[in-house]
Amino acid sequence: MRHLLNTLYILTDDRYLALEGENIVLQEGERTAARFPLHTLEGIACFGYRGISPALMAACAERDISLCFYTPEGRFQARVCGEIRGNVLLRRQQFRTAEDPAAGCRIARSMLIGKVYNCRRILERALRDHELRLDAERVRAASAGLASSLEAIRGCTDPETLRGLEGEAASRYFGVWGELVLRHREVFRFDGRSRRPPADPANALLSFAYSLLSKDCVSALEGAGLDAYVGFLHRDRPGRPSLALDLMEELRGPSADRFVLRLINEQMITGRDFDYRENGAVFLNEAGRKRFLEVWQTRKRESVTHPFLREKLPWGLIPFVQALLLARMLRGDLEDYPPFLWK
């Protein structure tokens, strides 16, 4: 089993990353600010434009250390990859499956069952724990709608219809997601998803969480020998990691949405942690990103019982486990892809 290592987050523009022996060196001008052994890291995420040495890029590629670049606002820009590894026969099977509408729809259907199940589970958990603090009637209606969506998805064999059902379920879920915000609703009011750019603090948190989760899914799929850019649900588009977006669907609710609700409801993030732009865009500021990432990394080390393997695993390993299960299904070791169903 893969071990969960650390991710190094660089949040300021005044740090240059270089390689010295087997260590990463953070430089501020002529001064060495910090050192980190390469063997303790599984990823580096840079939120700035200062730079990184070619030698360190090569060392990360050789050791399969994910190296990603983001804008200061958290939008993904680029990823440094090494030599493509893995079983070419597995990737050929992935491509054949993606070209077969029936076979691809079967996998996409399993992923969407996981997504809608988990979204409904989040609503039901909120009703159980906080019924008196939210509009229970609206949330129950949305949950019932998601139950109907689940039944429709289970019986769907057409990819286009499946995409329509996914959009319908997402609309029902996000239509009441704001009810789950229990504190500071004047700051974290949520009237639906807005992106590129996010228009309010709640959407800024969701977009940032999805960006990080997407990076983890790309790394997981490539580590399992799959092509992250050839998916079954999301259509192919140049530069879009379609399979990573497919895998994300079942993980958005338990890994990202619940995490954002925790930040808000436990007052780990407040209105002071955002930049409000003249064009209406809202992004986490430097202090907000730092706090977000501290809690995100802690969350990845918390344990959850995997519903298929029936083993306790860190949350941070769930994308890697799901990628391996998908690879096993494509190789014929499993009859169907088992989605992650959060309990």
Per-residue pLDDT in tens (0 to 9) along the chain, 343 residues? 455 567 777 767 677 888 888 888 888 877 888 888 988 887 787 776 667 888 988 888 888 787 877 776 666 677 776 666 667 889 999 999 999 999 999 999 999 999 999 999 999 999 999 988 989 999 999 999 999 999 999 999 899 999 999 999 999 999 999 999 998 888 899 988 888 889 999 999 999 999 999 988 998 898 788 999 999 999 888 888 999 999 999 999 999 999 999 999 999 999 999 999 888 899 999 899 999 999 998 998 899 999 998 988 889 889 989 998 999 999 998 999 999 999 8
The answer to whether the beta carbons of residues 146 and 122 sit under 8 Å apart is no
Rounded-to-integer distance, Cα 325 and Cα 252, Å: 18
Task: Spell out the residues 6+ positions from residue 103 whose beta carbon is closer than 8 angstroms to its own.
Answer: 96, 97
Amino acid at residue number 83: E
CA angle 312, 315, 320 (to 5 degrees): 95
Homologous superfamily of 6-80 in CATH? CRISPR-associated endonuclease Cas1, N-terminal domain (3.100.10.20)
Q: Compute the distance between CA of residue 228 and CA of residue 323 in angstroms, rounded to an integer.
A: 10
* CATH 3.100.10.20 boundaries in the chain: 6-80
pLDDT for residue 181: 92
Task: Look up the pTM and report it.
Answer: 0.82
- Residue 244: phi and psi, rounded to 5, are -65, -40
Residue with tokens 């289970």: 154
Per-residue confidence (pLDDT) for residue 64, from 0 to 100: 76
| CATH match for 88-331 among 3.90.230.10, 1.20.120.920, 3.40.50.720, 1.10.390.10 | 1.20.120.920
Amino acid 52: pLDDT:
83
Indicate the residue type of 145: G
The four Cα atoms 50, 54, 59, 65 give a dihedral, to 10 degrees, of 40
* Omega cis (within 30) before 197: yes
Residues of the chain with CATH 1.20.120.920: 88-331
What's the CA gap between 258 and 209, in Å, rounded?
Answer: 10
Output the pLDDT for position 336: 93
